[in-house]
Amino acid sequence: MTSRNAKKNDVFSKKIPSNPRYQNVKTRLDTGASASNYLNRIEEIKKNHRYRKDEIFKRMKVSTFAQLVLQVAEVCNLELDRLELDTARSDCGSVRAEDELPPGEDGSASERRLLQDVIRGVGEVEVGSGKSSPEIDTSMNHEEQKSGCNMPDLTSLPFLLLDIRDKDAYDECHIIGSLNYPASMLSRSVNYLSKEMLLFKNKPGKIIVVYDADEKICPNVATVLVQREIDNVIMLSGGLKVLNKKFPSCFLSGKVPSTCYSPKMDRKGNPKSPPNIVSNVGVDWYTPELLEKIQDNLDEVLLSNESSRLSSRLTSSRASKATSVASGTSSQATWR
């Protein structure tokens, strides 16, 4: 009796009551190679990706897409900076040329001074009078340049990014630099390709990347495009859901759709409403701040992928060692 009472009163045998508030909270600690981590990774892949055995199109990981965007955006931004610098130098050269002209040839000295102020962005010249309008606040120009960059010419890009959802979903949220190509366009008998797709179709050094929210319709669209002899079609694996999960507030412009979030439960077990997150509204191209943020998230993703690869290698090596030891033991028993 005493032993039973001791077991009942044992502190270590008591179960800790679970708090429903933290029921869905998972640890972020990487415990290394284990069967539970492997099964969780397989379950996550099945939840976010819809792999098929008969896929005839290629896939692109979100980490690979991030690396592609970083390289292309850096080159395009450098080219835009160079063009702006050349424009500024040409403007300065024209101002110096007008300064060297005598006052009688091209107007008075005051008119030339006003023209120089206009070129520098100080004021406006009224035609027919030698007066300038009040000074214009040029601080907004810097803020507009800081908020976003103009999208470069599509022909200069190595990839064409297409959102195959309907126009309303595209206007609500899309990847920066993408164009809308509804999947219903493929039902046409003729003229089912857009002008941009014809420019990129089977061109060397060019690819067409298609995506949707969660891979519900994108595999069928990519399959149809390949069947219609467009060989450079690649599907963004995971769509907006995986992209927003691994790169939050980096690529999406607008209100993030509810399909990009896995449902969370409240204390009563009812699903919570998804958060209303709006980011990068009106951004047409990637700013230096966005590129830096993408690079930081990419480093974390690559580091986690490398750790998972190492853990899988350790698991496979341990399994092979166990198999070799078991085979050696069985052979020794047979020999004896």
- 290 and 220 in a common domain: yes
Over range 143-162, report the average pLDDT.
74
Between helices 62-100 and 288-335, what is the axis angle to 10°? 150
Tell me if 68 is assigned to some domain: yes
Per-residue pLDDT for 183 more than 80? yes
- 263 and 217 in a common domain: yes
Tell me if 310 is assigned to some domain: no
Between helices 35-48 and 288-335, what is the axis angle to 10°? 130
- 246 and 215 in a common domain: yes
- 187 and 253 in a common domain: yes
- 277 and 138 in a common domain: no
Q: Which amino acid is at 19?
A: N
**pLDDT tens for each residue of 51-103:** 778 889 999 999 999 999 999 988 887 877 787 777 777 766 665 555 554 55
- 284 and 188 in a common domain: yes
Instruction: Tell me how far apart the alpha carbons of residues 83 and 156 are, in angstroms, rounded to a whole number.
Output: 15
Contact 154/165 with Cβ under 8 angstroms? Answer: no
Cα 104 to Cα 9, 101, 108, 112, 118, distances in angstroms: 108, 8, 6, 11, 21
Helix, strand or coil, per DSSP, at residue 176 = coil
Higher pLDDT, residue 294 or 89: 294
Over range 198-224, report the average pLDDT.
94
Q: Which domain holds residue 160?
A: 44-75+153-297
**What pLDDT shows up at residue 138?**
39
Tell me if 185 is assigned to some domain: yes
Contact 189/196 with Cβ under 8 angstroms? Answer: no
User: What is the value of pTM for the model shown?
Assistant: 0.67
**pLDDT tens for each residue of 252-279:** 999 988 888 776 666 666 667 777 788 8
Cα 68 to Cα 43, 75, 207, 292, distances in angstroms: 28, 11, 11, 14
Instruction: Record the tokens describing residue 41, joined without a space.
Output: 């990774």
**Cα 211 from chain centre:** 11
- 210 and 70 in a common domain: yes
Tell me if 197 is assigned to some domain: yes
- 132 and 161 in a common domain: no
- 162 and 143 in a common domain: no
Tell me if 86 is assigned to some domain: no
- 173 and 53 in a common domain: yes
CATH number at residue 185: 3.40.250.10
Contact 161/177 with Cβ under 8 angstroms? Answer: yes
Pick the most confident of 45-49, 184-188, 328-332. 184-188
Domain count of the chain?
A: 2
